[in-house]
Structure 1
Amino acid sequence: MIACPSPKCSSPNVADLPHYWQSLPAESPLKDRYAPPARPKVSYWAALAAVAVGILVLVEGGVLLGLLLVVGGAGWVAVVYKAVQWAEAQRAAWEQSHVCLACTGTF
């Protein structure tokens, strides 16, 4: 049995946070407080377009500009990928969280 880890509470009245959040009515003010982390809205199209344009510029002879576009596009892909990974890790942690129904703390 899971109990609240707060030394002031220690209540055994604990629920899984995702299940508790889903059971809340839509008009509940707690719905926003316990909501899951938002999934990032990402698009790789701009970064892939930069890489493609960079390759075209390289083929046409603009070495410095082409390399700059390719490296910049690849760097943007890496940044977006890391942001997605971080957001998914936050969401996975939320899915494993609990809420104490006595003191409303999460852990």
Structure 2
Amino acid sequence: MDGVCPLCKREDQVLSLAGYWGGLPPSSENYPKLRQPDGATINYLYAVGVAIVGVLLMVAGGWVLGLLVILAGAGWGFVMNRQVTAAEHKRTIWQRSKWCGRCAHVFDPKAF
């Protein structure tokens, strides 16, 4: 069923989205609309830096504030990790998606 378009119910024009997009010229109208989603641009060093500041605050005697800053750094790192996971999930779906040349519909074959 993964080679059949769910919209027009035909299979004669169904192509891999990655293959179709790879053959498009950059000046094509569909080129920016169908391109692979960007990966997450994350720099964990900022979250680590915040956690280090928290450790330094704890060493300097500010236990409560230091602990809060460490927790903030850990939370920030957790949120960034979730962003990376979500971006990779979108890229995986794009990679397995199909494009119907008959009705110009993009679909994930695993969703049907």
**Which TM-score tier does this pair reach, normalised by the shorter chain?**
over 0.9
Distance 1:2 1:52 in 2: 52
Does residue 5 (structure 1) correspond to residue 6 (structure 2)? The answer is yes
Unaligned runs of 5+ in 2: 108-112
Task: Give 1:45-56 correspondences, 5 Å limit.
Answer: 45-56=45-56
TM-score between the two structures when normalised by the length of structure 1: 0.93
Aligned residue pairs, count: 106
Structure 1 runs (4+) deviating above 4 angstroms are none
* TM-score in terms of structure 2 length: 0.89
Sequence identity (%): 34
Partner SS state of residue 37, structure 1: coil
Residue equivalent to 2:80: 80
Distance 2:11 2:74 in 1: 50
The Cα of 1:29 is off from its aligned counterpart by 0.9
SS of the equivalent of 1:65 reads: helix
CA RMSD of aligned residues (A): 1.3
Q: Distance in 2 between matches of 1:102 and 1:9?
A: 10
**Residues 42-84 of structure 1, C-alpha deviations (whole Å, 9 max, x = no match):** 1111110010110111111101110111000000000000000
